[in-house]
Amino acid sequence: MDDTPTSLASRFEADQAAGAIPLMVNARFTTRPLTGVDRVAAETIRALARIAPTNLVGAIPNADPITPIDGMKLVRGRLKGHAWEQLELPRAVGGRWLYSPCNTGPVLIGRQIVVIHDAQFITIGHTYSRAFRTWYRALLPALARRARIVVTVSDFSRRELESYGIVPHGKAKVIHNGADHILRVPQDDQVLAKHALTPGGYILAIAHLAPHKNLATLIRAASKRGPGAMPLVVAGGVGNAKVFADGTPLQAEGVRMIGRVTDAELRALYANASALAFPSRTEGFGLPPVEAMLCGCPVIASTGGALPEVCGSAALLLSPDDEQGWTDVMLRIAADDALRAELSDAGRRHAARFTWDRAASQLVQIVEDEMRREAAQQPALKGFRAHPLHK
Q: What is the pLDDT of residues 180-233, one digit of tens each?
A: 999 999 999 999 999 999 999 999 999 987 889 999 999 999 999 999 999 999
Q: How confident is the model at residue 10, as a pLDDT?
A: 45
Q: What is the pTM of this model?
A: 0.89
| Average pLDDT rounded to a whole number, residues 37-45 | 95
Residue 155 burial by Cβ neighbours in a 10 Å radius (0-12, 13-18, 19+): middle
Q: How confident is the model at residue 84, as a pLDDT?
A: 97
Q: How confident is the model at residue 67, as a pLDDT?
A: 86
Split at pLDDT 50, 70, 90, the class of 82 is: very high
| Average pLDDT rounded to a whole number, residues 20-35 | 89
Reply yes or no on whether the pLDDT at 387 is more than 60.
no
Residue 22, CA distances (Å) to 9, 12, 52, 120, 190 in order: 10, 6, 11, 32, 45
How far apart CA 274 and CA 200 sit, in angstroms, is 5
Q: How confident is the model at residue 208, as a pLDDT?
A: 85
Q: How confident is the model at residue 47, as a pLDDT?
A: 94
Residue 343, CA distances (Å) to 87, 292, 311, 313, 328 in order: 50, 11, 11, 9, 17
- Kindly list the structural domains of the chain, giving each domain's residue range(s) and its CATH number in brackets, ordered by start: 5-178+355-390 (3.40.50.2000), 181-351 (3.40.50.2000)
How far apart CA 166 and CA 104 sit, in angstroms, is 12
How far apart CA 266 and CA 288 sit, in angstroms, is 10
How far apart CA 99 and CA 360 sit, in angstroms, is 12
Rg, the chain, Cα only = 22
| Average pLDDT rounded to a whole number, residues 167-189 | 97
Split at pLDDT 50, 70, 90, the class of 244 is: low
Q: What are phi and psi of 95, to 5 degrees?
A: -90, 5
| Average pLDDT rounded to a whole number, residues 12-18 | 45
